[in-house]
Amino acid sequence: MNQDSVLPPQYDPTGLEQELYRQWERRGLFEPRSDRTPPGPPSSLTPPSTRPYVIMMPPPNVTAQLHMGHGLNLSIQDVLVRFERMRGRDTLWVPGTDHAGIATQNVVEKMLAKEGRTRFDLGREEFVRRVWQHVEETGSAILNQVRALGASCDWHRAYFTLDEDLSRAVREVFVSLYERSLIYRGKYIINWCPRCLTALSNEEAEKTETEGKLWHLRYPLEDGGRITVATTRPETILGDTGIAVHPEDPRYRALIGRHAILPLVDRKIPIVGDEAVDPAFGSGAVKVTPAHDPTDFDIGKRAGLPSINVMTDDAHMNDAVPERFRGLDRFVARKRVVAEFEALGLLEKIDNHQHAVGRCYRCDTVVEPRLSDQWFVKMKPLAAPALKAYQDGSLRFIPEHRGAEYAQWIENIRDWCISRQLWWGHRIPVWYCLAPTCRKITASRTDLSACPECQGAVRQDDDVLDTWFSSQLVPFSSLGWPESGDELSRFYPGDTLVTAPEILFFWVARMVMAGLEFMNDLPFRTVYLHGTVRDTRHRKMSKSLGNGIDPLDVVTRYGADALRYTVVSGLSVGTDLILDPEDLDASFSAGRNFANKLWNMGRLLLSHVDGPVRPLAGGHPDVVRKAELTLADRWIIARCEETVREATAAYERFRLNDAALAVHRFLWSDLADWYIEGIKPRLYGEQPGGDVARAVATQTFDVALRLLHPVMPFITETLWRRLPGHTEEDSISVAAWPASDRRATDGGALRRFGALQELVGAIRSIRAEYAVQPGHTVRARIATPSPDIAAVLEADGAIVSRLAKLSALDLGAPEAQDDAAHAILPDGTAVTIPLGDLVDVLKECARLGNELGRLQGAISGQEAKLDNPQFAARAPAAVVDREREKLAAWREQAGALAEKRRRLGCPE
């Protein structure tokens, strides 16, 4: 059968991948099935668990575009899920999206800004409607992008964090924590983003080292003298309500209890003693601004100092400051304050000072620590079990050292600010009674229209919850919790969480705590934290740097398989993935080329399996009687077995790159380059054993495709379905994982075939050195000290002849002819090829000789020209130089030619 008409030589995944994905989804192959066939004989170190394999997708922002980090994350997860599914486990991969409060709200606000409107113009209800509309328009895009990568999720269970049932879970958790006093409302210093106009959690306020200044400023004392304080934010001086010194500091001890006069404001402020002050830093005296600094807030609380907020929501100076400062931007005010101090002679000095400045993780604006009313979760009680789970080993991290980070964070955990001054998100389920006599605050699972206490009118809290408050619940809220049901008991707890280290605290740690608190069990046992995608300058890929790679673009140009192969083979545990956004080919052509190689291997094999291939049981052709197998057959079967073990063990240990490379080596180097090349005479009927060769080749190819399927699902599916024994109705995605079979192990075959490979290599080297045309055959004489090898050559010399292109292969004592090329292998095997056979070398010598002769003639002519005094006298300098350069170049060429002739052993 001529397959060429059906299968073009160039593999094109376009369209094919989408079609396959639609089929998979339609056939429900990604849905969990408890009736899956049990795993075959163990091919692994650890037999698969009988529990379902459940994995949770880190929810991308619902309206975002996929970036390469997602490509990496989804590829890894899909490899794991597909591997477990093929091993026969009941698998579930839950996809989902995140409403991403700040980000999504920002997007819609920007759209409004183009219409010249703000969210306040629309009002809350209308604004939220607009956001929903935007989400509905764009939200499915990201899920289709996930599909395009081949991710085998169960779409029936896709969640969105603002869905009704997930929202119910959010309420349940909030109220439950509130009732147990684990949620409280309080006035604290929080990180405020003056651009997004909302509070941020500590994790959302990213600290960046910044080169700043440290201003040393003098405050006059009430009763004479001065005290110097140091600050990085002079504008906050306007809100100072005290000065703190260390109680034991001999320089200042006497001043405690006295007062200073705050310059510019003329406020009388006390000097207090507090342990928090480091006498060694700055001047050893600290200005205290309780409303704008967390440390100062604590000091102020201890000393009973008032708090004066001096800024508006958008970080301009407010009415609490002297009139001339009002309305100024905080950084303008900073300059103004310093200038006035200087004018008053109160500026002592300015030091350069490097310090950490918090910035909004969404818009990079410098956050303003600010006193305000917010909701908090008391974390200590929730954290204790989460720490214990790590310490007793029930929660494990890969790479291991990430666990230490987790533990450190948990140990120093601080209360979580969960309120956000946004409109997009889960509104805090708290109602305030408006009746002045009642004023009751109620947290409720259902909306309230009247105060449960006095039936008076109520008003719901304006704020929404931090997006992560809902995300932390998805391991159980996406399975129907708080309703208890079969889904929940079957799929909770899950197995593995695969995510980027950036959200270890945002998401992972909080899921652990929530799971332990509300489900009384860990949401997963293993946390695999993969690396970050960076460019060749090792910068994180990001939109703002413009160094990103669009995974969909890669899929279009190279195919999802190529993307996945590149990502998986290039990422080892604990390292980052470096890709070049300027040169996609450098990164992704390897994957594309591999897919094309597989395609062509398939084309070749399929063109030879016209009729039914002799069925072979198990993964290995062990039912073929050993006697029928040639050395090459036994070798490839043994290599196949080795690869099954290697790849399986690697997948189990998250060493996905090792797995991918092991299969790659087997398919390309072993199967294609050696085995298939070697058996061609059998396939073409020039030698006996064609049936066996065909069977062995297709069977081992089948095994290798299955091993590769988790990494390259599309090309493997495409080819596998056409292999003998399978139909278009079958799917490799639910085919049995190849079983290891000890009977296929064959150390002797590996060793002996290895010797033949060396032999072939030696002959090929000689051929290359003498520039023998590929079409020409040569005679080789081989003398080996090993009776083993001699026997092999006797029986299987044909394959050496084929691979090294020999016309004859003689065995026996080495021929000591001078006109022959020789090679000696490490084991002492000697190869002799008569020079007469290397006929091309003589032709080449002649050609080189002619060329060299011509060149030498030209050189002597040129030398004569340059030596000619008339030429030297008349020609312009530039021309002389040019002619000299010409001569030098020719001499160099002649040298190269002579060297080439010498290398080929040409006669003089």
199 contacts 213 by C-beta, under 8 angstroms: no
CA distance 482 to 479: 9
CB of 465 to RNA, least distance (A): 21
No. of helices (H) and no. of strands (E), the chain: 27, 29
Q: At 476, phi and psi to the nearest 5? A: -115, -30
Closer to RNA at the Cβ: 422 or 672?
672
Looking at this protein, which amino acid is placed at residue 752?
R
Could you tell me if 577 and 532 are in contact, meaning their C-beta atoms sit under 8 angstroms apart? yes
The least CB distance from residue 97 to RNA, in Å, is 24
Query: 467 or 731, CB closer to RNA?
Result: 467
| Rounded Cα distance, 368 and 311, in Å | 9
Residue 329's nearest CA partner among 366, 294, 290, 291 is: 366
Q: Under DSSP, is residue 657 helix (H, G, I), strand (E, B) or coil? A: helix
Q: Which is closer to RNA, CB of 405 or CB of 521?
A: 405
Smallest separation, CB 225 to RNA (Å)? 19
- As a whole number of angstroms, the distance between CA 13 and CA 395 comes to 40
Distance between CA atoms of residues 536 and 539, nearest Å: 7
CA-based torsion, 205, 210, 214, 215: positive or negative: negative
Q: In the bound complex, what is the minimum distance in angstroms from residue 90's beta carbon to RNA?
A: 32
Output the smallest distance, CB 754 to RNA, in A.
Answer: 6
Q: Taken in order 636, 639, 641, 643, is the CA torsion positive or negative?
A: negative
Q: How many degrees, rounded to 5, is the angle at CA 574 between CA 569 and CA 580?
A: 55
Residue 98's DSSP bridge partners are 61
**Residue at 625: amino acid letter:** R
Report the nearest approach of RNA to the CB of residue 605 (Å). Answer: 8
- Least distance to RNA from the beta carbon of 457, Å? 41
CB of 613 to RNA, least distance (A): 17
Q: How far is the CB of 508 from RNA (least distance, A)?
A: 12
Residue type at position 323: E
What CA–CA distance (Å, rounded) separates 632 from 650? 26
Provide the minimum distance between the beta carbon of 244 and RNA in the complex, in angstroms, as a whole number: 8
Query: Among residues 218 and 427, whose Cβ is nearest to RNA?
Result: 218
Q: Give the chain's length.
A: 908
CB of 720 to RNA, least distance (A): 16
State which residue, 140 or 542, has the beta carbon closest to RNA: 542
- At CA 159, angle to CA 155 and CA 165, rounded to 5? 130
User: Quick one: 514 or 715, whose CB is closer to RNA?
Assistant: 715
* Residue 842 Cβ vs RNA, minimum distance, rounded to whole Å: 15
Nearer to RNA, 140 or 850 (CB): 850
Q: What is the DSSP string of 459-493?
A: EE-S-EE-HHHHHTTHHHHTTTTTS--HHHHHH-S
Provide the minimum distance between the beta carbon of 33 and RNA in the complex, in angstroms, as a whole number.
Answer: 35
Dist CA 314 CA 330 (whole Å): 9
- CB nearer RNA, residue 92 or residue 560: 560
Quick one: 83 or 654, whose CB is closer to RNA? 654
C-alpha distances out from residue 182 to 445, 519, 833, Å: 16, 17, 86
Work out whether strand 259-262 and strand 416-417 pair parallel, antiparallel, or are unpaired.
unpaired
Tell me the C-alpha distance between 708 and 79, whole Å: 9
Indicate if the alpha-carbon torsion angle 138, 142, 143, 149 is positive or negative.
positive
- Asked if 420 and 466 touch (Cβ cutoff 8 Å), the reply is yes
Instruction: Spell out the SS3 assignment of 440-462.
Output: CEEECCCCCCCCCCCCCCEEECC
Whether 73 contacts 498, CB under 8 Å: yes
Rounded to whole angstroms, the Cα distance separating 173 from 183 reads 10
Nearer to RNA, 575 or 868 (CB): 575
DSSP β-ladder status, 430-433 and 458-460: antiparallel
Q: Which tokens in the block code for residue 781? A: 């004489």
- By C-beta, is 29 or 350 nearer to RNA? 350
Of residues 384 and 590, the one with the C-beta less far from RNA:
590
CB of 460 or CB of 572, closer to RNA: 572
Least distance from RNA to the Cβ atom of residue 601, Å: 4
Residue pair 809/792 in contact (Cβ under 8 Å)? The answer is: no
Select 825 or 866, whichever has its Cβ closest to RNA: 825
Nearer to RNA, 771 or 839 (CB): 771
Place of tokens 């046992």: 525
- Minimum CB separation from RNA for residue 71, in Å? 16
Lookup: tokens for 181: 């006093």
Nearer to RNA, 112 or 848 (CB): 848
- State residue 579 phi and psi, 5-degree precision: -130, 155
133 vs 773 by CB, closer to RNA: 773
Report in angstroms how near the CB of residue 622 gets to RNA at its nearest: 24
Tell me if 223 sits within 8 A of 251, measured CB to CB: no
Nearer to RNA, 424 or 506 (CB): 506
| Separation CA 305–CA 268 (nearest Å) | 12
- 530: nearest Cα among 503, 505, 552: 503
Which structure tokens are listed for 313?
């929501």
Residue with tokens 């990502």: 567
CB 756 within 8 A of CB 798: no
